[in-house]
């Protein structure tokens, strides 16, 4: 077989384990899309727009470890870049591939469409360089294999997005055949001496502590160190708290799970035990204004050990070039039991209170919605929580072993969850995908429900219609937090058109919600959107407490220079 630049790229995407790539067509990528279609192991999945295409890939990468999105130049690429920012912030290797104008037009005085009407169209590559770990523009078939490989390799190694721009007259140009995939996926081992030194120093640090606690962060997944975190937890026997952005990354049915630590809005008992500890092993953590609740819950000082993807820092030491996996499992073999935080947590942990069902004909309330959603969550479920009060409602869910949870807390873009849910469901067809989405967020990217209908994905969307931007109301209110209401449930029929099997149901009380959930569970031929009607101020108490502290942080006056 003779390879072309496009079929070479397809072969590499398939070799790294992708079964799909997401795409929106445009004249600068049409030949490329044809070339990608020649690979029978890689299915092309279409999106309504390029922002959604990027977010679909972002969601797919959460399910499958990596993803690709293919768009046209500028009008597509610049929309997709927003989602690439998300992939960067959320540590997901998403490969953004953009078609580009014919290189022959570069050498002449020609102006081309989809550009700024200037002769220099390098700007998209320059922008992409800021938001990816590797950005290349292919303008030579001879160099294409090397450029494609280096971009994909960097993305997989760093768990960050990469950008590949392919000029339209090169997509079908013949090029070399791909070599063994190990060239892209083989990892450099940890530096053995640094690893031993880091483990010895950390073991010594923990020997001097009575009450250590573990704090799990979202980079644990990027580091592929979930199993090793459990090994360390079990060797120490201490309590394990998890940051909101990392919910489900440490199994919630593990006996040492002590809840979500999120400062003032932690799970009951988690904050008390965290504050009582004398040292914290932070594993893959990200501390920002939101996760520290307006800088009120920032672990700091000599009692903090930070173990990151490739770096361990503690008490005057900084060890690089080691894998988190190796560090955690090595440390697990060196530490003695330090279970004081677990013993104490068992004493203070709140007994779970059974939630009582609301009256079936009483006005629908948030607590009743999440009581019913909770009953749907099984080991095969993935709960996807959009920015907004859904973050806080999602945090309260108890996840059985095997259940997963996805949240986009660092980038925090409303609208993320609709396409990310679509992409996730494409990548994980065996899982029950449950999305919790606010009305305001849904309005950004609603069209992508049509693609769930097109591919008959039985996603269940709980659309929380509280008539506005409630999370923003709690941070800082004004007329800008009111939105135009939509007939969200009715929208599904619009998207169904003549052949779709999506269902849209509205629930205004507990009885209607229970019936709607029955409809959703029975619908295997498409998504079901359940529009849950609640009052504007029916929000989680945690949102109010968190919003107050974030507002205080936002309102700090400028420091004198
Ligand atoms: O449940 P609720 O009402 O809190 O959620 P809903 O209705 O989805 O409202 C979300 C409101 C919101 C905004 C407007 N949350 N964050 N923002 C700011 C924002 C604006 N634009 C983007 C792309 N992302 C944002 N986070
Ligand atoms: Mg809302």
d(CA 477, ligand 1 centre) in Å: 12
Q: What is the CA radius of gyration of the chain?
A: 25
Task: Count other C-beta atoms under 10 Å from residue 355's C-beta.
Answer: 13
CA distance 70 to 16: 17
Model pLDDT, residue 108? 77
Q: Is 357 in the pocket of ligand 1 (CB under 6 A)?
A: no
- Give the ligand whose atoms come closest to the C-alpha of residue 471: 1
Nearest to 186, CA basis, from 157, 152, 216, 221:
157
Q: Is 464 in the pocket of ligand 1 (CB under 6 A)?
A: yes
Model pLDDT, residue 75? 98
Q: Is 436 in the pocket of ligand 1 (CB under 6 A)?
A: no
Residues 6+ apart with CB under 8 A from 19: 41, 42, 43, 64, 427
d(CA 553, ligand 1 centre) in Å: 18
CA distance 99 to 97: 7
d(CA 470, ligand 2 centre) in Å: 5
Ligand 1 pocket: which of 289, 411, 472, 477 to mutate (most atoms within 8 A of CB): 472
Q: Is 472 in the pocket of ligand 1 (CB under 6 A)?
A: yes
d(CA 541, ligand 2 centre) in Å: 15
Q: Are 28 and 168 in contact (CB under 8 A)?
A: yes
Provide the H-helix boundaries in 285-361.
Answer: 324-332, 340-348
Judged by phi (left if over 0) then psi (alpha if -120 to 50, else beta), residue 316 lies in left
Q: Is the pTM of this model over 0.85?
A: yes
Model pLDDT, residue 354? 78
Model pLDDT, residue 561? 76
Q: Is 547 in the pocket of ligand 1 (CB under 6 A)?
A: no
For ligand 2, an ion, list residues with CB under 5 A.
Answer: 438-440, 466, 470
β-sheet bridge partners, residue 214: 240, 281
DSSP 410: T
Helix 50-64 to helix 417-427 angle, to the nearest 10 degrees? 50
Burial class (CB in 10 A: 0-12, 13-18, 19+), 305: buried
Q: Whose CA is nearest to atom 9 of ligand 1?
A: 469
Model pLDDT, residue 304? 98
d(CA 441, ligand 2 centre) in Å: 7
Q: Are 372 and 517 in contact (CB under 8 A)?
A: yes
Q: Is 85 in the pocket of ligand 1 (CB under 6 A)?
A: no
Atom of ligand 1 nearest to the CA of 415: 23
Show the beta-strand stretches assigned E in 120-264: 134-138, 162-167, 174-175, 212-216, 240-242, 257-260
Model pLDDT, residue 352? 77
Query: Could you report how far apart the first and last alpha carbons of the chain are, in Å?
Result: 65
d(CA 439, ligand 1 centre) in Å: 9
Nearest to 508, CA basis, from 477, 543, 552, 464:
464
Nearest to 332, CA basis, from 210, 236, 223, 249:
236
Nearest to 505, CA basis, from 530, 534, 522:
530
Judged by phi (left if over 0) then psi (alpha if -120 to 50, else beta), residue 301 lies in left
Q: Is 446 in the pocket of ligand 1 (CB under 6 A)?
A: no
Largest Cα–Cα distance of the chain, in whole Å? 77
Q: Are 310 and 321 in contact (CB under 8 A)?
A: yes
CA distance 347 to 506: 43
Model pLDDT, residue 527? 98
Model pLDDT, residue 474? 85
Per-residue pLDDT of the chain (561 residues; tens, 9 = 90+): 899 999 999 999 999 999 999 999 999 999 999 999 999 999 999 999 999 999 999 999 999 999 999 999 999 999 999 999 999 999 999 999 999 999 988 877 789 999 999 989 999 999 999 999 999 999 899 999 999 999 999 999 999 999 999 999 999 999 999 999 999 998 899 999 999 999 999 999 999 999 999 999 999 999 999 999 999 999 999 999 999 999 999 999 999 999 999 999 999 999 999 999 999 999 999 999 999 999 999 999 999 999 999 999 998 999 999 999 999 999 999 999 999 999 999 999 988 787 889 999 999 999 999 999 999 999 999 999 999 999 999 999 999 999 999 999 999 999 999 999 999 999 999 999 999 999 999 999 999 999 999 999 999 999 999 999 999 988 888 999 999 999 999 999 999 999 999 999 999 999 999 999 999 999 999 999 999 999 999 999 999 999 999 999 999 999 887
């Amino acid at each position: 077989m003779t390879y072309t630049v496009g079929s070479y790229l397809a072969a590499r995407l398939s070799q790294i384990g992708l079964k799909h790539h997401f795409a929106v067509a445009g004249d600068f990528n049409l030949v490329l899309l044809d070339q990608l279609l020649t690979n029978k192991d890689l299915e092309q999945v279409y999106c309504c727009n390029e922002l959604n295409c990027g977010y679909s890939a972002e969601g797919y990468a959460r399910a499958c470890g990596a993803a690709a999105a293919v768009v046209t130049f500028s009008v597509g690429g610049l929309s997709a870049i927003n989602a690439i920012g998300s992939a960067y912030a959320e540590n997901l290797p998403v490969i953004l591939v953009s078609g580009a104008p014919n290189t022959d037009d570069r050498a002449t005085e020609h102006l081309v469409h989809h550009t700024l009407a200037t002769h220099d169209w390098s700007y998209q590559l320059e922008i992409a360089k800021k938001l990816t770990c590797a950005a290349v523009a292919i303008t030579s078939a001879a160099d294409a294999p090397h450029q494609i490989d280096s971009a994909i390799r960097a993305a997989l190694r760093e768990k960050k997005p990469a950008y590949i721009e392919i000029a339209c007259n090169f997509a079908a140009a013949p090029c070399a055949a791909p070599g063994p995939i190990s060239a892209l996926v083989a990892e450099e081992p940890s530096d053995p001496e640094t690893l031993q030194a880091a483990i010895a120093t950390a073991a010594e640090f923990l020997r001097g502590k009575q009450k250590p606690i573990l704090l799990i962060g979202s980079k644990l997944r990027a580091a592929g160190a979930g199993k090793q975190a459990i090994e360390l937890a079990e060797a120490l026997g201490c309590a394990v708290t998890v940051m909101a952005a990392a919910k489900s990354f440490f199994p919630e049915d593990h006996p040492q799970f002590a809840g979500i630590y999120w400062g003032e809005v932690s799970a009951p008992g988690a904050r008390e035990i965290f504050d009582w500890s004398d040292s914290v092993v932070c594993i893959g953590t990200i501390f920002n204004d939101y996760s520290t609740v307006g800088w009120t819950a920032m672990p700091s000082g000599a009692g903090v050990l930070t173990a990151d993807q490739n770096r361990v820092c503690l008490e005057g030491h900084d060890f690089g070039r080691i894998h988190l996996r190796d560090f955690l499992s090595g440390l697990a073999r060196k530490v003695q039991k330090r279970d004081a935080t677990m013993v104490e947590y068992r004493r203070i942990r709140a007994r779970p209170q059974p939630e009582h069902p609301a009256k079936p004909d009483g006005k629908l309330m948030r607590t009743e919605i999440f009581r019913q959603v909770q009953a749907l969550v099984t080991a095969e479920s993935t709960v996807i929580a959009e920015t907004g009060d859904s973050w806080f409602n999602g945090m309260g869910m108890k996840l059985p072993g095997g259940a997963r949870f996805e949240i986009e807390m660092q980038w925090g873009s409303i609208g993320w969850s609709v396409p990310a849910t679509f992409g996730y469901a494409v990548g994980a067809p065996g899982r029950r995908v449950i999305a919790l989405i606010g009305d305001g967020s849904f309005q950004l990217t609603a069209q992508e429900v049509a693609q769930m209908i097109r591919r008959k994905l039985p996603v269940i969307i709980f659309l929380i219609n509280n008539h506005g931007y409630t999370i923003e109301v709690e941070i800082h209110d004004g007329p800008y937090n009111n939105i135009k209401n939509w007939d969200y449930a009715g929208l599904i029929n619009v998207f169904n058109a003549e052949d779709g099997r999506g269902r849209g149901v509205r629930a205004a009380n507990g009885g209607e919600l229970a019936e709607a959930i029955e409809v959703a569970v029975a619908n295997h031929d498409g998504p079901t959107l359940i529009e849950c009607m609640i009052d504007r101020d029916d929000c989680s108490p945690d949102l109010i407490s968190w919003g107050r502290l974030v507002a205080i942080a936002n309102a700090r006056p400028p420091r004198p220079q």
